[in-house]
C-alpha cells in the first residue's frame, strides 16, 4: 500500500471526557480529503461518530475501567482509504456474536457496533500479542 498521506496517533486515558477530542479529529480529517466527491458534511459527522463509538467501546469493554489504562487510536489516511485502529487491553469480545438491533423493540444500548458497521466498509476485531484491535476501513471515492 502507498504511504499514508496523514497519520494521526493519539493515546488517551480511559475517560469519556476525551471523546469530543477524538471525534473532532475525525471531523477535521474529513475536511482535508481533497479528492472526496461525496457529501463532506455527512462524512465529517460519520467519522466523528465512528471514532466516538469505537473509543467508548474500548473504554467500556476493553480496560475494565482501570483508571491508569489508556486507549490508543491510530488513524491513517491513504489516497483511496481511511484506516482507523483502536487498541484496547481488555478481555476482548467476539464481533460475530453481537446481534443486529431489533428495530421494532429498540434497546437503550448496544447500537454502537451497528452504527460503525452501517457507516464504514469493513470492521474487524482481532487479538494481537498484548492487546485487541478494532480496525475500521472506509474506502474514499
Partner 1 sequence: MNLNLEKISDISVLTINEERIDAHNSGELKEYLLQMIERGEKHIVVQLAHVRFIDSSGLGALLSGNKNIIAKSGKFALSNIQQQVMSMFELTRLNRVFEIYTDLNDAVKTET
Going residue by residue from 95 to 114, which x/- string records binding to partner 1, judged by CB under 8 A?
A: ------x-x--xxxxxxx-x
When asked if residue 131 is in the footprint of partner 1 (CB under 8 A), the reply is no
Q: Is 3 helix (H, G, I), strand (E, B) or coil?
A: coil
CA distance 98 to 127: 17
Shortest spacing between CB 27 and partner 1, in angstroms: 9
Q: Count CB atoms within 10 A of the CB of residue 134.
A: 26
Cell digits of residue 61: 469493554
* Residue 93 host element (H or E): none
Cell digits of residue 67: 483508571
Shortest spacing between CB 101 and partner 1, in angstroms: 7
Q: Count CB atoms within 10 A of the CB of residue 10.
A: 16
- Residues from 56 through 75 that contact partner 1 (CB under 8 A): 56, 59-60
- Residues from 7 through 36 that contact partner 1 (CB under 8 A): 16-17, 19-20, 23
Enumerate binding residues for partner 1 (CB under 8 A). Answer: 16-17, 19-20, 23, 41-42, 45, 48-49, 52-53, 56, 59-60, 101, 103, 106-112, 114-115, 118-119
Amino acid at each position: 500500500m502507498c504511504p499514508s498521506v496523514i497519520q494521526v496517533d493519539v493515546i488517551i486515558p480511559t475517560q469519556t471526557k476525551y471523546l469530543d477530542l477524538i471525534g473532532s479529529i475525525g471531523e477535521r480529517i474529513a475536511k482535508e480529503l481533497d479528492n472526496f466527491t461525496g457529501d463532506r458534511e455527512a462524512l465529517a459527522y460519520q467519522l466523528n461518530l465512528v471514532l466516538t463509538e469505537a473509543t467508548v467501546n474500548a473504554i467500556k469493554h476493553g480496560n475494565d475501567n482501570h483508571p491508569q489504562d489508556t486507549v490508543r487510536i491510530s488513524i491513517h489516511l491513504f489516497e483511496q482509504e481511511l484506516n482507523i485502529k483502536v487498541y484496547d487491553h481488555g478481555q476482548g469480545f467476539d464481533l460475530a456474536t453481537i446481534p443486529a438491533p431489533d428495530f421494532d423493540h429498540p434497546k437503550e444500548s448496544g447500537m454502537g457496533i451497528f452504527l460503525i458497521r452501517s457507516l464504514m466498509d469493513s470492521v474487524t476485531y482481532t487479538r494481537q500479542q498484548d492487546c485487541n484491535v478494532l480496525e475500521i476501513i472506509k474506502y474514499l471515492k
